[in-house]
Homo-oligomer: A and B are copies of this chain.
Amino acid sequence: MEVPNQCPHCTNDHCIRSVPLFASLEPDAVHALTDQMEHKSYQKGEILVREGDTATGFTVIRQGSAKAYRTSADGREQILYIFPANDYYGARFLFTEEKVPYTVEALEETHVCILSKAQFSLLLEKHSSIALQIIEAMANRMSRLETAMQSMGGRNADLRIASLLLEFKEPYGRYNGSHLEITLPLSREGLANYLGLARETLSRKLVQFEEEGLIELIGQKVVRILDLERLADLSVLVD
């Protein structure tokens, strides 16, 4: 149920300018880009692109958010990335791979702008600074993957969960008074699929963390961090 329409957020330049990747472009380049992009909308649960498809274009999430995951032979869903608004995906597999390496699914109502492979290549040629920014963005994702790998190689669930909370501190945390509160972007099931744990284990560990005074659960989407230091000790971060 893709609804190709004129994305109201994209008919003016603001759209692209709020995407860090394009922040360095001059106004008329932004204008040109805006015209070329294709706009689509998705409801929660709809698939933006499916693992194994031939590469679509470079896709910017204008509004909403999405998860990227792979499905294993046993049916398990391993979430690899969570893309918040203004993030993008698809730069990488325009360069190397023919096939899309993961399924991307909307976590809520989501609007995206798509630039075709050809247009994206042209953009890269004209504005070489964008290549450097892509390298930088890729570097950040690699950092995260490396930390995830370390955390998933660990021996206990506490480590994974503590590392997850610290990872989410940046993008999803904010201070409410003096307390850091993280608004979880996924359901328990989703978090479990991100961590490679059973949902039940995650539930139990979270209440255990609460009993130990590490966190406080507020509703089921918000976690208040009570003891960041002890959480960091549990996590993968050394020193």
Interface of A with B (CB < 8 Å)?
51-52, 70-74, 76, 78, 80, 92-93, 95-97, 101-102, 124, 128, 131-132, 134-136, 138-143, 145-146, 148-150, 152-155, 159, 193, 195-196, 233, 235-239
Contacting pair A72 B154 (CB below 8 A): yes
Q: How far is the CA of A155 from the CA of B72 in the complex (A)?
A: 11
Q: How far is the CA of A237 from the CA of B95 in the complex (A)?
A: 22
Contacting pair A143 B97 (CB below 8 A): yes
Min CB distance A165 to B, Å, is: 15
Contacting pair B152 A76 (CB below 8 A): no
Contacting pair B132 A95 (CB below 8 A): yes
* Partner among B138, B150, B193 whose Cβ is within 8 Å of the Cβ of A142: B138
Min CB distance A186 to B, Å, is: 14
Min CB distance A161 to B, Å, is: 14
| Given A97-B143, A145-B145, CB of A70 within 8 Å of CB of B135 | no
Contacting pair A76 B138 (CB below 8 A): no
Q: Closest residue to A102 on the B side, CB-wise?
A: B146
Contacting pair B73 A146 (CB below 8 A): no
Task: List 16 extra interface pairs beyond A70-B238, A92-B138, A152-B152, CB under 8 A.
Answer: A52-B239, A72-B159, A72-B238, A73-B238, A74-B155, A93-B139, A96-B140, A135-B135, A141-B142, A142-B142, A142-B145, A145-B149, A149-B149, A152-B196, A153-B196, A154-B196
Q: How many copies does the complex hold?
A: 2
* Partner among B78, B140, B154 whose Cβ is within 8 Å of the Cβ of A149: B78
Contacting pair A70 B136 (CB below 8 A): no
Q: How far is the CA of A150 from the CA of B149 in the complex (A)?
A: 9
Q: How far is the CA of A138 from the CA of B193 in the complex (A)?
A: 25
* Partner among B95, B146, B233 whose Cβ is within 8 Å of the Cβ of A135: B95
Q: How far is the CA of A134 from the CA of B51 in the complex (A)?
A: 24
Contacting pair B238 A76 (CB below 8 A): no
Contacting pair B74 A150 (CB below 8 A): no
Interface centre among A72, A124, A155 (most CB of B within 10 A): A72
Q: How far is the CA of A159 from the CA of B233 in the complex (A)?
A: 30
